[in-house]
Structure 1
Amino acid sequence: MQNSDIDAGLTPPPLMPKVERQRLHDTVVEHIRRFIVEGALEPGKKLNERELCETLGISRTPLREALKVLAAEGLIEIEPNRGASVSKMSEAEMREMFELMSGLEAFSGELAAERMTAAELGEIKALHYAMLACRAQNDLAGYYSRNQAIHDKINEAARNSALRQTYLSLNRRLQAMRFRSNFQTPKWDSAIHDHDEMLKALEARDGKRLSAILRQHLLDKRDAVLQVQSREDAAAVKLKA
Structure 2
Amino acid sequence: MEAERQDNEGYRRFREAMHEGKLTPGMVVTQNELCDLLGISLSPLRETLVLLEEFGLVEIKPRTGIRIVYPEVAFIRENYQFRIMMEVFAMRAFAEVVKPEWLTDMRKRHEDCRALLIADTPFEEARAVVVALDRQFHRNIVQSLDNRAILATHARVQDNLNMARRVHQSGFIRSQLISTMDEHLRVLESLEKRDTDGAIANLEAHFRASTHRTFAAG
TM-score, normalising length from structure 1?
0.62
What is residue 5 of structure 1 aligned with on the other side? none
Is 2:176 aligned against 1:187?
A: yes
Alpha-carbon distance between aligned partners in 2 of 1:64 and 1:141, rounded to the nearest angstrom: 35
What is residue 202 of structure 1 aligned with on the other side? 191
Structure 1: unaligned runs, 5 residues or longer: 1-21, 232-241
- Corresponding residue SS for 1:88: coil
Alpha-carbon distance between aligned partners in 1 of 2:211 and 2:90, rounded to the nearest angstrom: 18
Q: Is the 8 A contact 1:76 1:85 kept in 2?
A: yes
User: 1:69 deviation in Å?
Assistant: 1.5
Q: Determine which of 69, 78, 93 is the counterpart of 1:111.
A: 93
User: 1:215 deviation in Å?
Assistant: 0.4
Structure 2: unaligned runs, 5 residues or longer: none
What is residue 212 of structure 1 aligned with on the other side? 201
2:206 maps to a residue whose letter is: H
TM-score, normalising length from structure 2?
0.67
Alpha-carbon distance between aligned partners in 2 of 1:205 and 1:182, rounded to the nearest angstrom: 38
More displaced, 206-215 or 166-175? 166-175
Structure of greater Rg: 1
Q: Is the 8 A contact 2:139 2:151 kept in 1?
A: no
The Cα RMSD (Å) is: 4.2
Number of residue pairs matched? 205
User: 1:182 deviation in Å?
Assistant: 9.0
Identical-residue share of aligned pairs (%): 25
Q: Determine which of 111, 121, 137 is the counterpart of 1:150.
A: 137
What is residue 226 of structure 1 aligned with on the other side? 215
Alpha-carbon distance between aligned partners in 2 of 1:46 and 1:93, rounded to the nearest angstrom: 18
1:102 maps to a residue whose letter is: I
1:59 maps to a residue whose letter is: S
Alpha-carbon distance between aligned partners in 2 of 1:90 and 1:195, rounded to the nearest angstrom: 27
User: 1:41 deviation in Å?
Assistant: 3.1
CA separation of 1:142 and 1:50: change in aligned 2, threshold 3 A: farther
What is residue 174 of structure 1 aligned with on the other side? 161
Is 2:73 aligned against 1:91?
A: yes
- Corresponding residue SS for 1:84: strand
Alpha-carbon distance between aligned partners in 2 of 1:97 and 1:25, rounded to the nearest angstrom: 21
Deviations 1:128-182 (A, max 9, x none): 56x9499766255675454233212202314689976875675554342356669
Alpha-carbon distance between aligned partners in 1 of 2:165 and 2:176, rounded to the nearest angstrom: 11
> Counterparts of 1:1-241 in structure 2 under 5 Å?
26-36=8-18, 41-47=23-29, 49-50=31-32, 52-99=34-81, 101-117=83-99, 121=102, 125=106, 132=113, 138=124, 143-158=130-145, 167=154, 170-171=157-158, 173-177=160-164, 183-185=171-173, 186-228=175-217, 231=218
